[in-house]
Amino acid sequence: MLHVLSYPRNCQPKGPGYIRGPGATGASLMAWYRNWFGTRYYTLLYGHRDEREAKAWVDMILDRLHVPEGASVLDMACGRGRHARWFLHSGMRVTGVDIDPASIAEAQANLPNGEFHVHDMRDPVGNGQFDLVCCLFTSIGYFDDLKDEQRVFDAAFAAVRPGGHFVVDFMNTARVINDLVQLEELERDGIRFTVQRGVENGVIVKHIAVADGSVTEHFQERVKALMPSQLEEMAKAAGFLIADRTDGPVPTAFDVDVSGRYVLWLMRPLS
């Protein structure tokens, strides 16, 4: 099984500014994302992240914030709707956005009661119409420029109503780096995965070799090693109040040495 602190999720912002692979230029900038997240290998590698885990996250958020049935939820970087499913199951009105058209198509087909859109999460969705905005499973940290990360927080602030909440689930970066498993080999359904991990210029990188019969393919994941202080600075700059910092999905107090996740609980001021 993969290490519990692994990353990132099934989303990636489009357009200029995202983190590129070494030597990538022009049209190849997004190759690592386009060639990886849409494959069956990605699903095999991360398939252990099951519905129970997604339900645990949603239940924790709704219980902790006392979100009433019928509240409006924006799931930023929703992927295939793993969390959106349980928000809907709990009686929420759900809008999901993700940059991957295939993921959005699958989410809409499987969850017809939700509303799903192909959308760059740096751009605002609505104008203060959501009671709750969530960005779960390390869905930020893909940009070269911190100004683009800031735009995600700004977009969330614009989307949530005054008094509403924004929940950001990120990795505990310090512990990920400290506990980094540099080399891991595993097999799923007859497919051999060799995963090499490292930190390159402030970016946590996975190099993934997939041996499928006589063919070996190579993929990559890259996410910026953002620290809690950086995320909190961006949240404050957007206008949010910081309500709490916890682990997840069990919301114990955040401890940099112990916590597997860094969950930032934010609120838009009433005025």
DSSP string across the chain: ---TT----S----STTB---TT--GGGGGHHHHTTTTSHHHHHHHTTS-HHHHHHHHHHHHHHHTPPTT-EEEEET-TTTTTHHHHHHTT-EEEEEES-HHHHHHHHHH-TTSEEEE--TTS--SSS-EEEEEE-SS----BSSHHHHHHHHHHHHHHEEEEEEEEEEEE-HHHHHHT--SEEEEEETTEEEEEEEEEETTEEEEEEEEEETTEEEEEEEEEE---HHHHHHHHHHHTPEEEEEE-SSS-PBP-TTT-SEEEEEEE----
Confidence bin at 40 (pLDDT 50/70/90) = confident
Q: Quick check: 260 pLDDT over 70?
A: yes
Q: Quick check: 25 pLDDT over 60?
A: no
β partners of residue 165:
132, 267
Q: What is the mean pLDDT of the chain?
A: 87
- Domains of the chain with CATH codes: 51-173+227-267 (3.40.50.150)
Q: Quick check: 16 pLDDT over 80?
A: no
Confidence bin at 3 (pLDDT 50/70/90) = very low
Per-residue model confidence (pLDDT) at position 228? 98
List the structure tokens of 41.
């290998």
Per-residue model confidence (pLDDT) at position 35? 67
Per-residue model confidence (pLDDT) at position 144? 79
Select the more confidently predicted residue: 40 or 53.
53
Signed CA dihedral, 103, 107, 172, 236: sign only = positive
> pTM for this one?
0.86
Summarised one tens digit per residue, pLDDT across range 155-168 is 999 999 999 999 99
Summarised one tens digit per residue, pLDDT across range 196-231 is 999 999 999 999 999 999 999 999 988 999 999 999
Summarised one tens digit per residue, pLDDT across range 185-196 is 999 999 999 999
Per-residue model confidence (pLDDT) at position 28? 34
Summarised one tens digit per residue, pLDDT across range 99-155 is 888 889 999 999 999 999 999 999 999 899 999 999 999 989 988 789 999 999 999
Give long-range contacts, CB 8 A cutoff, 24+ apart: 189-197: 189/44, 191/41, 191/44, 193/41, 193/44, 193/45, 195/2
Q: Quick check: 2 pLDDT over 90?
A: no
Per-residue model confidence (pLDDT) at position 36? 76
